[in-house]
Amino acid sequence: MKSILEQLSHRVRGAIALIGVEGDPQIQASQDEKFGDYQSNAAMGLAKKLGRKPREVAEAIVEKLDIDDLCEKPEIAGPGFINFRLKPKFLAKALQSIPLADDLDTDRAGLLPAENAQVVAVDLSSPNLAKEMHVGHLRSTVIGDCVARVLEFQGHTVHRENHVGDWGTQFGMLVAHLRRIRPEIIDRPDTLEIADLESFYVEAKARFDADEKFKEESRETVVALQRGDATTRRIWQAFCNESLRHCHAIYDRLGVRLIDRGESFYNDLMNEVVRRLEKLRDSGESAAVRDSEGALCIFLDGFTTREGEPLPLMVRKSDGGFNYATSDLATIVHRVEVLKATRIVYVVGLAQKQHFEMLFAAARKIGWVGPEVRLEHLGFGNMLSKAGTPFKTREGGTVKLKDLLDEAVARARRVVEEVEPDEARVQRSFTPQQMDNIAETVGLAAVKYFDLSHSMTSDYRFDLDTMLAMEGNTAPYMLYAYARIRSIGRKAGVDFRALPADAPVILEHASEIALAKKILQFADAVEVVGRELKPNVLTDYLYDLAKAFSRFYDKRLGVRVIDASPEAVRFSRLRLCDSTARVLRLGLRLLGISTIEQM
C-alpha cells in the first residue's frame, strides 16, 4: 500500500491538472488537529500563476477532487489551505491491509520496497588502523549504519564501505617497531596479539622521536612497503589484521557490518587516477587539470586560499606522493565503475565539507561522474562533552570508543537495577544473563538513539544522564514502550501470526484513531530518511508513535485492551498493539537498535 501522503498527493495533483495547470500538490501533515490531518498549500502559489484569488483556486481544486474514499469533504481555510480529515474507515482498511508478520526480524510492517532500486555506496566509520577507535568514530559509524539500513530496507543495493586508514608514513614506524619487539610474527603472522593498540602506537612514536636510527629505519620500511617487499608486507598485514580485529569487536557489539576497504586497496587505482589525469593534462582536454608548484591539480571555480589565490584540488603532491584527494577520487572511480553505484554517500564530519565540495566538483568537471550519479556528503557536527567542550579525557587525551560504550552499559545497568520496587507492579526478576542483555541493549541503544535523534548538522553534548532517562525522547523510553506492548500480547495470550487475516480493525475511540494515523505515517518517515538522510526524522516519528500508544493505553483517556469487549473490539485493539509493536521494532531496527521483550 502506498503511504497516505503519496495517495493524497496523487489525488490532488490530478485535481490540479484538471483545472488546467501543473503544480506540486504541497501536501503535508497538519500541525494542529483542528486543521484536519493533512493539508494542501498549493492553492496560494497557483493563484498567482493563474491570476485568480487563492480561495477560488482552492475551491476549484476541491471541486475536481475525487477523494470520498479517503477523507471527509475537504475544507478550505485561511488564505486558501485545503484541509483533509481522514475517514476512520479508510484508516481501518489501510491497517487491515498490512500483512501479518511471520518473522519479526524480516518484518516490513506493510511497507513496500522502492520502485526505483539503485546501487548505493555508503562510506562510513573509516577509522585509522594505526590507533584504536575513539569517540570521533562513533557518529560516522552509527549514522552510516542507520542510513545503510534504511536504504537497504527500501530495496536498494547498499555497499557499506569502510575506508580504513592502513597506509602512509606512520605504518613504516609501526611495522619497524613491531619487527623489533615481535620478530617471531614474521613466521607466524596469525599469532599476533596487541592488547592495547594505543600504547603500542605511543611506544613506537616515542622511539621514533628519540632514536634517529629508528627514524631512518621507519622511512626505509615505508619504502619497502610501497615496493611490495614480502616480509615487510607480512608484518604490515599482521598489524592491520590485528587492528581490524579490535575494530570488528566494536562493530559486532554495535551490530554494524561493513566491508573493509583500506587505503591500500586503492593503491593501483590511485596510480590509475593520476595516469588518467596526466593524460587529461597533456592532451589539453581539460584546462582545469594542470601542474602547480610541482603538484598535479584540478582547478575549480569558487575556491580560494587564504591569500585569495585559486585553490585547486591537489591530487599528487610535489614530492610525487598521494593524499586524501587522490584516494577519495579513487573511491569514486571504484564505486562508479566497479560497484556501479548511482548514489554515493560519504558520512564524514562537517569539518571536511569543503573538501567534499571540491572533490565532487572536480569529479564532475573532468567528467568522471555524470548527472545520473548522486554524490552526497552527509556531514555531521561534533560530539561534545556534557559541558560543551571538546570530548577529551581528564588528561586531555582521546577517549576510546570501547571505554565510552562500557560506561554507557554500566550506567544503563544501574538505571535498570535502581528502579524502585513498586508493590502494585508485577515483580520481574531477571537472571544475571537477562540483566546483562538488558544492560547491554539499553546502554548501546541509548548512545545510538541520542546520536541519531539530533539533527546531523549541529554539535551535540554527550550526556549519559539525559540519554538514559526513562522520560522524553530517549532509547529507554522507546524500549520500555516496546516491552510494555509485548507484555500485553503475552498477557492476552494472543499469537498475532495466527490471526485470521480478515479480522476487522474497528476505530471508534479518539485515541484509537490517533494511534492508527500515527502507525500509517511510518512509511512517510522512512521515505524522508531515505531521501534526505535525516535519521532524526525517524526518531521523532517513533517517539510520537510511542506517545500515541501511551495515550491509547492510558487508564483515563485511553481504552481497555486485554479485557475489552465484545471480542471483535478486543481483537481489533490487540491488533493495534501488535501493529504498533511491529513498527516500533522495525523502526528501531532501522536505527540499528535491538529491542528486548521485557525490561
Q: Residues 330 to 369: which contact RNA by CB under 7 A?
A: 350-355
Contact call for residues 362 and 300 (beta carbons, < 8 A): yes
Per DSSP, 122 falls in state E
Q: How far is the CB of 595 from RNA (least distance, A)?
A: 12
Question: In this complex, which beta carbon is closest to RNA, that of residue 410 or of residue 557?
Answer: 557
Please select the residue that binds RNA; options are 23, 55, 71, 81, rule is CB under 7 A: 81
The identity of residue 249, as a single letter, is A
The contact pattern for RNA, residues 380-399, with x = CB under 7 A and - = no contact, is -xx-x---x-----------
**Which span sits near RNA by CB under 7 A: 192-200, 253-261, 313-321, 366-374?**
313-321
**Which span sits near RNA by CB under 7 A: 87-95, 178-186, 207-215, 484-492?**
484-492
Question: In this complex, which beta carbon is closest to RNA, that of residue 30 or of residue 157?
Answer: 30
The SS3 assignment for 286 reads coil
Closest CA to 315 of 266, 261, 351, 349: 266
Location of C-alpha cell 553534548? 461
The contact pattern for RNA, residues 89-118, with x = CB under 7 A and - = no contact, is ------------------------------
Helices (H) and strands (E) in the chain, counts: 20, 14
Please select the residue that binds RNA; options are 60, 178, 561, 576, rule is CB under 7 A: 561
| Residue 59 lies near RNA (rule: CB under 7 A) | no
What lies within 8 Å, CB to CB, of 372 at 6+ separation is 342
| Residue 182 lies near RNA (rule: CB under 7 A) | no
CA 304/CA 310 separation, integer angstroms: 4
Ordered DSSP codes for 319-363: TS---HHHHHHHHHHIIIIIS--SEEEEEEEGGGHHHHHHHHHHH
Question: In this complex, which beta carbon is closest to RNA, that of residue 192 or of residue 236?
Answer: 236
Contact call for residues 524 and 4 (beta carbons, < 8 A): yes
Question: In this complex, which beta carbon is closest to RNA, that of residue 186 or of residue 528?
Answer: 528
Query: Within 13 Å, how many C-alpha atoms sit on residue 260's CB side?
Result: 17
Location of C-alpha cell 579525557? 393
Q: Residue 290 has which C-alpha cell?
A: 594542470
Residues 138-167 close enough to bind RNA by CB under 7 A: 165
For 397, phi then psi, to 5°, come to -85, 175
β-pairing verdict for 295-298 and 313-316: antiparallel
| Residue 495 lies near RNA (rule: CB under 7 A) | no
Please select the residue that binds RNA; options are 251, 477, 496, 522, rule is CB under 7 A: 477
**Which span sits near RNA by CB under 7 A: 150-158, 171-179, 275-283, 453-461?**
453-461
Please select the residue that binds RNA; options are 199, 231, 393, 457, rule is CB under 7 A: 457
Residues 235-264 close enough to bind RNA by CB under 7 A: 263
Please select the residue that binds RNA; options are 25, 74, 144, 312, rule is CB under 7 A: 312
Closest CA to 238 of 282, 278, 200, 287: 200
**Which span sits near RNA by CB under 7 A: 108-116, 182-190, 264-272, 449-457?**
449-457
Q: How far is the CB of 248 from RNA (least distance, A)?
A: 20
Residue 438 to residues 414, 582, 594, 595: CA-CA distances in angstroms? 11, 20, 10, 9
Please select the residue that binds RNA; options are 483, 581, 591, 593, rule is CB under 7 A: 483
Per the document, the length of the chain is: 599
**Which span sits near RNA by CB under 7 A: 105-113, 274-282, 317-325, 335-343?**
317-325
| Residue 410 lies near RNA (rule: CB under 7 A) | no
Per DSSP, 129 falls in state T
The contact pattern for RNA, residues 538-557, with x = CB under 7 A and - = no contact, is --x--x---x--xx-xxxxx
With residue 447 as reference, give the H or E element that holds it: helix 432-452
Closest CA to 453 of 146, 133, 134: 146
With residue 45 as reference, give the H or E element that holds it: helix 42-50
Q: How far is the CB of 188 from RNA (least distance, A)?
A: 31
Question: In this complex, which beta carbon is closest to RNA, that of residue 157 or of residue 466?
Answer: 466
Residues 9-48 close enough to bind RNA by CB under 7 A: 26, 28-32, 34-36, 39, 41, 44-45, 48
Q: How far is the CB of 26 from RNA (least distance, A)?
A: 7
Please select the residue that binds RNA; options are 180, 188, 491, 497, rule is CB under 7 A: 491
**Which span sits near RNA by CB under 7 A: 94-102, 135-143, 276-284, 287-295?**
287-295
What lies within 8 Å, CB to CB, of 527 at 6+ separation is 3, 5
Please select the residue that binds RNA; options are 230, 287, 424, 501, rule is CB under 7 A: 424
Please select the residue that binds RNA; options are 239, 322, 346, 449, rule is CB under 7 A: 322
- In angstroms, how far is the first alpha carbon of the chain from the final one? 34
